[in-house]
Amino acid sequence: MNFLHTADIHLGKTYRTSTGEDERYEDFFRMLGTIVSAAITEQVDFVLIAGDLLANEYR
């Protein structure tokens, strides 16, 4: 059995006070695409995402 493990993707995370905020915001979505592509290419049986998939700034 093959699987891909990743953690703390934090989709939607913002860096409101940082230069390049928009680019950094998009980085999270690009990385998820890279993870999905790798899982398809490697034909894994499942993907395990530990930690936070989505960013929640209202804790």
Residue 23 located in a structural domain: yes
Q: Answer for the pair 26, 20: CB distance below 8 angstroms, yes or no.
A: no
Residue 40 located in a structural domain: yes
pTM of the model: 0.75
Quick: pLDDT tens for 20-32: 777 888 888 899 9
Running DSSP on this structure, what letter comes out for residue 10?
A: -
Which H or E run contains 6?
strand 3-7
Residue 17 located in a structural domain: yes
Residue 18 located in a structural domain: yes
Residue 59 located in a structural domain: no
pLDDT for 18: 73
Residue 56 located in a structural domain: no
Residue 14's domain comprises: 3-50
Selection from 7, 11, 3 nearest residue 38 by Cα: 3
Residue 32 located in a structural domain: yes
pLDDT for 28: 86
Tokens representing residue 15 in the block? 């860096």
How many domains are there within the chain?
1
Residue 21 located in a structural domain: yes
